[in-house]
Amino acid sequence: MTATTTDHSRAAADGAHSHGVVPAGSRAERVTSFDLADIPVPSGREEEWRFSPVARLQPLFAETLGADGVTVAVDAAPEVKVETVARDDARLGKAGKPGDRTAVSAWNAVAEATVVTVPAEAVASDVTSVRIDGVSQDATAQHLLVHAERHSEAVVVIDHRGVALLNQTVEVVVDEGAHLTVVSVQDWADGAVHAAAHRSTIGRDARLKHVVVTFGGDVVRITPDATFTAEGGEVEMVGLYFADADQHQEHRLFVDHAVPSCKSRVTYKGALQGSGAHTVWVGDVLIQAEAENTDTYELNRNLVLTDGARADSVPNLEIETGEIAGAGHASATGRFDDEQLFYLMARGIPEVDARRLVVRGFFAELIDEIGVAAVEERLLASIEAELEKSMSVITGVPTAAE
Amino acid sequence: MSTLEIRDLHVSVETKEGPKPILRGVDLTIKSGETHAIMGPNGSGKSTLASALAGHPKYEVTSGTVTLDGEDVLAMSVDERARAGLFLAMQYPVEVPGVSVANFLRTAKTAISGEAPALRTWGKEVKGAMENLRIDSSFAERSVNEGFSGGEKKRHEILQMELFKPHFAILDETDSGLDVDALRVVSEGVNRAKENTDVGVLLITHYTRILRYIKPDFVHVFVDGRIAEEGGPELAERLEDEGYDRFLTGATASA
């Protein structure tokens, strides 16, 4: 087990702390732009691409992308409005700017966007489901805006299935006092390659719960950004991933505390099994000089179930003010604990069931935090299905799928 | 009536420098209802015996036999041993995050008895056993051993002993680190299990203190990986007065 835990709540204005390698300098200095020319095609050596299989992502760096690789179907709660709009719609592009090549490519390549609006004061009576199905392997751009207007409440689940080569933008705008939950489930089939830039803004006293669940696909790279635009905002970013042999699952988060008195919590947990399973978690948190009374904590844990899997975990916390309520981060990657297995088996529990208990236990708290019953149930079922794959290695009995 | 029989047991432990022999020929027979205290200085192999009987992968049996009513225990996997009726109360119980005590107890009980316990009676039984051991009912929803104090972990071990009703329970230094109150509560639990189930007990301890609460029928003194002396409860009293010095001197002289 390797673990780092750091509590910065008593840290003075910074400079004294450095964590991991931050060759690109301050996160605040990273180039963001809507212009393709400002963010060239990466070589793979850049800080934000150094863990990524750039060759597999290459088709998504193009200046033009198709639109027919996926179908988008929205099943909205009765209170929620759904539109398809042209790319020049004034509401698009308001939640920050693209921060890497796939993000800027996606922005420039889309012809139209899906806009999901939760009207002011509306409380959605049901989950709004956005179903994205991969239908061809043509490199495709797709854009979704979820806008929760003032004092509204809603849950939006974005569900990805099938096989696609998708470069996606998800903008999330949470206006003052609104409570929004956005869940993105990557349940792709083998062969899918998916890059997604999630850019969120959180207004005054607004609350965003942002959930990412990644199980399927060959390559999934998601970059959720959250920026506070006014005081009193709160963001909870939760992620759960399970990588099998030769899957690459990358989640790069950025929380920008640009204003005072906001709170962020980041909790990502992943399990890995099989040769060539690779997960990357990077959590950047920037507490700007003006952001006094910030409260932030981020945590990433990885459970490596078999040999040959690799988990990279890099928390970065930059603090530009000493007047904070709390700031900390923790990162740990551990192998499956044989002592836990022995303890459970010594109580008569067979190995397969003991392993299942431990892995379910590892994810249990996180699943509770999601707070969307339908998603929780599906998650438990997906975890079971993933475990079946590793159990077949242990028991020697192939699963039905194989 | 069951019998656990250990014959000429030799056990090595895995170390960085290679396997290191710890047990050098242990003979011991325990019958239902009997309580055997295994005492001895640190490093004499008491806990190795406990771990080897439970089947911990770090310990390798190099020769000898262990049978439970004639069945070869050493051929069984860890979980098979538990289902055959062996229970090890561990010296250092392991934390299992995210698995609630209630879920763990039910899962283990189901595995051991081969069927799920009846919902209504099981709930009552667990609640009653927890009350007896002064375990707050909130522990049912907590993760197994996570954030438990030393005493809470040991009480949770004895809770399992009471609920799982093994034929033989090996208590590996269950008394170590307990204050007097906790020691009394834990001992009462063991005594209840003895009364209710006729369990055979192998009580491994460094100190004689727990033997004031749990009366042994036999006392075995472990020195250097084998039994150096055996007797009745009076042997424990003698150890309390004299300590282990005379055994250690002997061991040094013969080495």
Write the residue in B79, B95, B99 that is nearest to A348 by C-beta.
Answer: B79
- pLDDT of the residue at A392: 62
- pLDDT of the residue at A401: 39
Boundary residue ending a domain (A336, A361, A393):
A336
Q: Does residue B47 belong to any structural domain of this protein?
A: yes
Clarify whether residues A378 and A288 are in a common domain: no
Written as tens digits, the pLDDT of chain A (402 aa) is 455 555 554 443 433 333 444 445 678 788 999 999 999 999 999 999 999 999 999 999 999 999 999 999 999 999 999 999 999 999 999 999 999 999 999 999 999 999 999 999 999 999 999 999 999 999 999 999 999 999 999 999 999 999 999 999 999 999 999 999 999 999 999 999 999 999 999 999 999 999 999 999 999 999 999 999 999 999 999 999 999 999 999 999 999 999 999 999 999 999 999 999 999 999 999 999 999 999 999 999 999 988 899 999 999 999 998 899 999 999 999 888 889 999 999 999 999 899 889 998 999 888 888 888 888 888 888 888 888 876 665 555 544 433
Q: Quick check: B160 and A348 CB within 8 A?
A: no
Min CA distance, A303 vs chain B (Å)? 12
Q: Quick check: A346 and B78 CB within 8 A?
A: yes
Selected for mutation to probe chain B from A1, A337, A349 (highest B CB count within 10 Å) is A349
Residue ranges making up the domain that contains A361: 337-402
- pLDDT of the residue at A25: 65
Clarify whether residues A277 and A396 are in a common domain: no
With b for 16 or more beta-carbon neighbours within 10 A and e for fewer, the B112-123 pattern comes to beeeebeeeebe
- Dist. CA A355–CA A337, nearest whole Å: 10
Min CA distance, B104 vs chain A (Å)? 8
Write the residue in B54, B83, B97 that is nearest to A361 by C-beta.
Answer: B97
Q: What ipTM, to 2 d.p.?
A: 0.95
Clarify whether residues A31 and A17 are in a common domain: yes
Clarify whether residues A43 and A163 are in a common domain: yes
Q: Does residue B82 belong to any structural domain of this protein?
A: yes
Q: Does residue B101 belong to any structural domain of this protein?
A: no
Clarify whether residues A248 and A357 are in a common domain: no
Q: Grade residue B249 by pLDDT with cuts at 50, 70 and 90.
A: low
Clarify whether residues A14 and A147 are in a common domain: yes
Boundary residue ending a domain (A336, A365, A385):
A336
Residue ranges making up the domain that contains B186: 3-92+167-254
Residue B235 contacts A where some CB pair is shorter than 8 Å:
no
Q: Does residue B108 belong to any structural domain of this protein?
A: no
Residue A360 contacts B where some CB pair is shorter than 8 Å:
yes
- pLDDT of the residue at B68: 98
- pLDDT of the residue at A385: 85
- pLDDT of the residue at A196: 98
- pLDDT of the residue at A21: 45
B78 CB neighbours in chain A (<8 A) are 342, 345-346
Q: Quick check: B82 and A351 CB within 8 A?
A: no
Domains identified in chain B, total number: 1
Residue A60 contacts B where some CB pair is shorter than 8 Å:
no
Nearest residue of A to residue B82, measured between CA atoms: A348
Q: Grade residue B244 by pLDDT with cuts at 50, 70 and 90.
A: confident
pTM metric for this prediction: 0.83
Residue B253 contacts A where some CB pair is shorter than 8 Å:
no
A288 within 8 A of A257, measured Cβ to Cβ: yes
* Range with the poorest average pLDDT among B71-80, B96-105, B246-255: B246-255
Nearest residue of B to residue A357, measured between CA atoms: B99
With b for 16 or more beta-carbon neighbours within 10 A and e for fewer, the A224-261 pattern comes to bbbbbbbebbbbbbbbbbbbbeebbbbbbbbbbbbbbb
The 3-class SS string of chain B reads CCEEEEEEEEEEECCCCCCEEEEEEEEEEEECCCEEEEECCCCCCHHHHHHHHHCCCCEEEEEEEEEECCEEHHHCCHHHHHHHCEEEECCCCCCEEEEEHHHHHHHHHHHHHCCCCCHHHHHHHHHHHHHHCCCCHHHHHCEECCCCCHHHHHHHHHHHHHHHCCCEEEEECCCCCCCHHHHHHHHHHHHHHHHHHCCEEEEEECCCHHHHCCCCCEEEEEECCEEEEEECHHHHHHHHHHCCHHHHHHHHHHC
Q: Per-residue pLDDT for B41 more than 60?
A: yes
Write the residue in A342, A357, A361 that is nearest to B57 by C-beta.
Answer: A342
Q: Quick check: A344 and B160 CB within 8 A?
A: no
CATH number at residue B236: 3.40.50.300
Clarify whether residues A165 and A103 are in a common domain: yes
- pLDDT of the residue at A14: 38
Q: Which amino acid is at B117?
A: P
- pLDDT of the residue at A287: 96
Q: Does residue B48 belong to any structural domain of this protein?
A: yes
Clarify whether residues A303 and A381 are in a common domain: no
Q: Does residue B128 belong to any structural domain of this protein?
A: no
Q: Quick check: A348 and B164 CB within 8 A?
A: yes
B94 CB neighbours in chain A (<8 A) are 337, 339-340, 342-343
Residue B142 contacts A where some CB pair is shorter than 8 Å:
no
Write the residue in A338, A348, A362 that is nearest to B97 by C-beta.
Answer: A362
Whole-number average pLDDT of chain B: 94
Chains A, B: CB contacts within 8 A come to: 77
Q: Quick check: B107 and A357 CB within 8 A?
A: yes
Clarify whether residues A242 and A262 are in a common domain: yes
Clarify whether residues A232 and A365 are in a common domain: no
Q: Does residue B99 belong to any structural domain of this protein?
A: no
Q: Per-residue pLDDT for B72 more than 60?
A: yes
Q: Does residue B158 belong to any structural domain of this protein?
A: no
Clarify whether residues A82 and A148 are in a common domain: yes
Taking residues B80-89, report their average pLDDT: 98
Boundary residue ending a domain (A316, A336, A356):
A336
Clarify whether residues A364 and A232 are in a common domain: no
